[in-house]
Amino acid sequence: MSAVLSEQLRCVPMTEDDLDTVAAMESMLYEFPWSRGNFNDSLVAGYSTWTFRLGAALLGYAVMMLVLDEAHLLNISVHSAWQRRGYGRMLLGHLEAVARRSGAHCVFLEVRPSNVSGRGLYAGSGYRQIGVRRGYYPSAWGREDALVLRKDL
């Protein structure tokens, strides 16, 4: 199933053919990126995996795990050239709609405290902090905490 957000802007399920491009974008965006294998494992596990496209151009991607009545957003990313244009909010909205259709009552995610733009996106979309995972993420100076966020759908 593909969601059309405008004539050329759409969310399309991720396939194995997307993995090289997605992994390359991930490596450009993050100091500690997911590997191609991480994305492949998500496909194999049956997670809700998406690419976000404008025409043929890949703007972003997302991976979400759906379990019973909860969704856990594992990865959501927009190419740096396309950030701050509302595309992250659109992609997040698509994921929330998928979660609702799947019977989820809430979405959980982790975000780095240093990810100011991500934190702003989530706060503006109704996510609230419910906890902290100490030393969750690798960082250049050792480990960084993760803020645990939740949104009721």
Helix 87-101 with 116-124: angle, nearest 10 deg: 50
For 126-143, the DSSP string reads T-EEEEEEEEEEEETTEE
CA distance 128 to 75: 18
Contact 137, 144 (CB under 8 A): yes
Instruction: Tell me the catalytic residues.
Output: 110, 122
- Residue 40 near residue 74 (C-beta atoms within 8 A): no
Query: Distance between CA atoms of 141 and 153, rounded to whole angstroms?
Result: 36
